[in-house]
Amino acid sequence: MATPMRDYILSVASDLFSRQGINATSVDAIVAKADIAKVTLYKYFKSKEQLIIEYLREYDARLWARLTEITAQQKDAVSRLYALVNGMLDWIGDPEFKGFAFINASVEFPQRDDPVHQSSLEFARTFRQMLTESAREAGLKNPDALALQLALVIEGAAITERMQRGTGAVENAKALAKTLIDAAS
């Protein structure tokens, strides 16, 4: 059930999680920043773990919405793939970009049997499927391999750009992606 209060709590938590890291953000810190009672948080989320998973889910939904909006403006399938990749990379280049939530979460929760880790894996998979499908629709050669390589480049750009701002990771990733897509045409 989405209520204003629930959305508000989630937005505050998301902000702290992405800026300070998940493990470094205590429930008390979220409650203090949101200026609410702790009981209220636990009314909407049964545990911190659940809150983290909802954070990942919301992040995924936003990403999805953003990308469908971008691609919807394009006429042909190849342009859509280009828009997808470049839109992603533009986002990474934004100074406010704090890394992909699901990648960060999988690093902070590296144990395979951890529910948070499993959620992050799930979102990483849908991300790749989105690329695969787009490559297939564009009628390119080896859509699976192409999508994997594009995912690799995008994730690499996300890491590199976040660690060392303004060293050209995004521009180089764009050039790289263009080479890959052109070669598969």
Partner DNA sequence: ATCAAATCATACTAACCAGTAAGTTATGTG
Partner DNA sequence: CACATAACTTACTGGTTAGTATGATTTGAT
Residues that bind a second copy (CB under 8 A): 19-21, 23-24, 98-99, 103-104, 106-111, 120-121, 124-125, 145, 148-149, 151-157, 159-160, 162-164, 167-169, 172-173, 175-176, 179-180, 183
Residue 80 CA to residue 98 CA, distance in Å, equals: 25
Contact 84, 40 (CB under 8 A): no
Q: Give the one entry of a second copy, DNA, none that residue 167 binds, where binding means its C-beta sits below a cut-off of 5 to 8 angstroms depending on kind.
A: a second copy
The entry of DNA, a second copy, none that residue 86 binds, CB within 5 to 8 Å by partner kind: none
The answer to whether 84 and 131 are in contact (CB under 8 A) is yes
Judged by beta carbon, residue 44 or residue 180, the one nearer a second copy is: 180
Biggest alpha carbon distance in the chain? 57
The C-alpha atoms of residue 78 and residue 19 are separated, in whole angstroms, by 35
Beta carbon of residue 61, minimum distance to DNA (angstroms, whole number): 22
**Binder of residue 5, out of a second copy, DNA, none (CB less than 5 to 8 A by kind):** DNA
Radius of gyration of the chain from its Cα atoms, rounded to whole angstroms: 18
- The neighbour count for residue 104, using CB atoms within 10 Å, is 20
* The only residue of 11, 20, 33, 38 in contact with DNA, by rule CB under 7 A: 38
Contact 71, 88 (CB under 8 A): no
Q: Which does 173 bind (CB under 5 to 8 A by kind): DNA, a second copy, none?
A: a second copy
CB nearer to DNA: give 18 or 71.
18
- List Cβ neighbours of 79 (8 Å cut-off, separation of 6 or more): none
Binding site for DNA (CB under 7 A): 3, 5, 26-29, 35-40, 42-43, 47-49
